[in-house]
Amino acid sequence: MFSYLRERFTSHLRERGRRRARLVSKDGRCNIEFGNVEQSRFVFLIDIWTTILDLRWRYKMTIFISAFLGSWFLFGLLWYVVAYIHKDLPEFNPSINHTPCVENINGLTSAFLFSLETQVTIGYGFRCVTEQCATAIFLLIFQSILGVIINSFMCGAILAKISRSKNRAKTITFSKNAVISKRGGKLCLLIRVANLRKSLLIGSHIYGKLLRTTITPEGETIILDQVNIDFVVDAGNENLFFISPLTIYHIIDKNSPFFHMAAETLLQQDFELVVFLDGTVEATSATCQVRTSYIPEEVLWGYRFAPIVSKTKEGKYRVDFQNFSKTVAVDTPHCAFCLYNEKEAKAKEKKGYDNPGFVLSEVNETSDTKM
């Protein structure tokens, strides 16, 4: 029992270590931080719109509430100051013929309520500005304009956050594992991707990046060196008809970085395969990018994906997502080099070999038969 728990704990720590080493998580988030940035944080305030959109919901809602409450309270103080300077407050004992700048402001609370009514254009009619002082008229105009600006900016930021195409990416899912097996007589790395909505992604394009640490001939170590990985779909990797799950594959040929890997050495490799899917959302015409990643432990050699599309008796096509990431073991060469050597050997057997040392000699046949 103790050895079992120790093994589970060790595997858990190893799994946590692998998760920390990921640059891109399975759901597409990037695991990277910037340190010792010399530029001031003021540059983020210059592009305040993008900064607000990139904030998390809890910070965005805090700013949203603080912006309205802060503006209402600030203008409430200003209305209180106007009433105080004009001696409209009850503690000044104004005469019966005294005309206040704002009627029925008796203190800070009533000034805050009038500020709230003015900015959100409620207009109960109990408190109102008179024509007695120009300061109150100017403050009313200024608060009305500023209130419209704050309302437009904050409500626009909320709507833009909700309608971002980033949320559309959550309905695009990749298979948990990638597999390596033969496809069309070639050794391929296959990944399954599905669109969970019936609305399409227009102009979809799929590609990949292999991230690994390399050492140049000059001795320079490059961490997170990026190598292009071309993925192919039978219907073409441009303008996909992405209505049902697709299986994308990368041909492991002599130009592929997977060519020198084998089934026995795959887990010893240090790489991260990041897969990208770019497209345009059909409903909003906004561009969308979905990404995920695979580490060596998530690449299964000698497997293929189980079929998930079937046809019902009613003539409809049914997709069974229970088998979306299910794999089936198949006979697969343990390395790409062996597959290509096997093909070359078979081709040579069919063609035969020329023996340059072979000399054809003529033999004179004599007959000893006598008549």
Q: What is the pLDDT of residues 291-346, one digit of tens each?
A: 999 999 999 999 999 888 888 888 788 888 888 888 999 988 888 777 766 655 55
Phi, psi dihedral angles at 262 (to 5 degrees)? -135, 170
Within 8 A by CB and 6+ apart from 63, the residues are 52, 55, 154
Q: Which parts of the chain sit beneath pLDDT 50?
A: 17-20, 369-371
CA 248, 249, 255, 256 dihedral sign is: positive
Q: In whole angstroms, what is the distance from residue 289 CA to residue 296 CA?
A: 24
pLDDT in tens, 160-183: 888 776 777 778 889 999 999 988
Q: What is the pLDDT of residue 159?
A: 85
Q: What is the pLDDT of residue 371?
A: 44
Cα angle vertex 216, ends 215, 220, to 5°? 75
CA 326, 332, 334, 339 dihedral sign is: negative
Report CA-CA distances (Å) from 147 to 82, 119, 120, 330.
19, 5, 7, 67
Q: What is the pLDDT of residue 359?
A: 55
The reply to whether CATH 1.10.287.70 applies to domain 48-163 is: yes
Q: What is the pLDDT of residue 235?
A: 56
| β 299-301/178-183 pair status | parallel
Q: In whole angstroms, what is the distance from residue 201 CA to residue 231 CA?
A: 18
Q: What is the pLDDT of residue 273?
A: 92
Using CB atoms within 10 Å of the CB of residue 118, give its burial: 0 to 12 exposed, 13 to 18 middle, 19+ buried.
buried
Structural domain boundaries in the chain: 48-163, 168-348
Question: What's the topology of domain 168-348?
Answer: Immunoglobulin-like (2.60.40)
For 187, other C-beta atoms within 10 Å of its C-beta total 25
Determine the length of the chain. 371
